[in-house]
Amino acid sequence: MQLIFSFDTEEYETPGIDDTVKIWADMLAKLWMPWCILHRWRKGARVARPRTQRYHRRTRCPRN
């Protein structure tokens, strides 16, 4: 089975509402992490979200 997370953003002028988009974007960024970073996240480590490059979670872990 495949899964797509599909989020409908709408703008309602409610103060502070923009931040909800960022919270979800950061939460779901984990989906595109390489396995090794994802594994560390699942173990409870705080990991940095890839800032510009989108990794698929099945891709090889980049060398540091």
With respect to another protein, which residue has the nearer C-beta, 19 or 63? 19
With respect to another protein, which residue has the nearer C-beta, 25 or 36? 25
Binding status of residue 64 toward another protein by CB under 8 A:
no
With respect to another protein, which residue has the nearer C-beta, 1 or 60? 1
Q: Is 41:19 a contact under the CB 8 Å cutoff?
A: no
Consecutive H or E run containing 53: none
Binding status of residue 19 toward another protein by CB under 8 A:
yes
User: For 32, which DSSP code?
Assistant: G
As a whole number of angstroms, the distance between CA 46 and CA 15 comes to 29
Chain residues binding another protein by CB under 8 A are 1-32, 38, 41-42, 49-54, 57
